[in-house]
Amino acid sequence: MAILFDWYEDPKPSNKQQGENGNTLHPRIKYNGSTGTDVLRRRIQERCSLTETDVTAVLDALSHIMGQELAEGRQVHLDGIGYFHPCLTTTEPVTVDTKRKVTKVKLKAIQFRADQTLKNEFGVLKVKSLKGGLDFTQLTNEEIDLQLTQYFRTHPFMRRHDFQYLCGMARSTAMRHIRRLLDEGKLKNEGSVMQPIYVPGDGYYGNNEEISVKTE
């Protein structure tokens, strides 16, 4: 099976990136589901002498030991898989004059860099574009309202990347629309400045009131 993807415009192409016919594009993967521990456990058992119970125990121990090593600020390398390392951020904007700076630091993510051995497992890369033709028409404000109304029917909150994916926008374009929606009161930030979590404003997107799309 091929890796599915769509084409998206780059947000702000430089002169070197500018194509003859306009902005340059980049491929963005559409994940074809996910593979859970049960499947991995069974497939590992098929390739070695370990039982599925043994595999479970090894994975559990690996998780704990890796967590301990990463918590000590170490990079963890698994041969044939790759490197794991912790990445930090702050809970709020920090300046030179900020008091007790160390208390503002927290774990942002555990990042991963694959070994070449793992990349080689791809073999000949098979990809398939989901769109028959390229259409980068920007959504109108009313169309964005409709998309958000449908989204919040099944989701209690939204993050920036959710909005970006939902509306098929570049990061900069998504942030511009989010700021507009916040100013209009259609979205509220229930999170922090550094980690915003957006929910519908009072009277919008199914929160006591539906948004309708205007028709000509």
144-185, pLDDT tens digit by residue? 999 999 999 888 899 998 898 888 777 788 899 999 999 999
Residues 145 and 73 in one domain: no
The confidence band for 213, taking pLDDT boundaries of 50, 70 and 90, is very low
Nearest 10 degrees: CA dihedral of 98, 101, 107, 108?
20
CATH number at residue 55: 4.10.520.10
Instruction: Indicate if the pLDDT at residue 12 is higher than 60.
Output: no
Give the span between the Cα atoms of 113 and 111, in whole angstroms: 7
Residues 151 and 114 in one domain: no
pLDDT for position 7: 77
pLDDT for position 214: 42
CATH number at residue 160: 1.10.10.10
Task: Tell which wins on pLDDT, 111 or 215.
Answer: 111
Residues 114 and 188 in one domain: no
Structural domain containing residue 107:
35-119
Burial letters 18-30, b for 16+ CB under 10 A, else e = eeeeeeeeeeeee
Task: Reduce the DSSP state of residue 129 to 3 states and report it.
Answer: strand
Asked which of 36-40, 108-112, 212-216 is least confident by mean pLDDT, the reply is 212-216
Domain count, the chain: 2
The answer as to whether 29 is a domain residue is no
Write the pLDDT tens digit of every residue in 49-100: 999 999 999 999 999 999 999 999 999 999 999 999 999 999 988 899 999 9
CB 146 within 8 A of CB 211: yes
The answer as to whether 13 is a domain residue is no
pTM above 0.85, yes or no: no
Residues 110 and 152 in one domain: no
The answer as to whether 5 is a domain residue is no
